[in-house]
Structure 1
């Protein structure tokens, strides 16, 4: 598999940073070729041309429609990380969510 780029976003980038770290650990265990980065919601547009999927925290779900317009234009899937995954910083489940929605 070619390297895939998973972008996580939240309000300030802090909580998504913890989630990204957990996901990177899981990806390393699985020996997957992934780039996983966390950013604040204001930085998403800087990366939109390079990512394979955008995962957002539930607390910025109110931006979903606006973000979906941008991601659809670029053919990038957008998924909201469910609270039970985000709240536990469950990198395994978040990684599974991303991988299920990335097309080769």
Structure 2
């Protein structure tokens, strides 16, 4: 019988604004994520970390206790980089 466990939601929500992917401040400062791999090339974010080593140790712990699931450490970055452009009403330099 597989072990059951509850995933706690952290309340972190990225969202799309037009064609740009917007990350919250907390998501930007914690780019290393531990994910549970799901069928059909999907994943579920379990927890975020500042340091890669901390994420790897947490994934190791999850693998030990939840043997029926697969966990990986990933780097979560914005889909589009912010662009720096002058405002359209400013005079050319």
Do they superpose with TM above 0.5?
A: no
More relative contact order, 1 or 2 (CA 8 Å, 6+ apart): 1
Greater helix share, structure number: 1
Which of these two proteins has the greater Rg computed from alpha carbons? 2
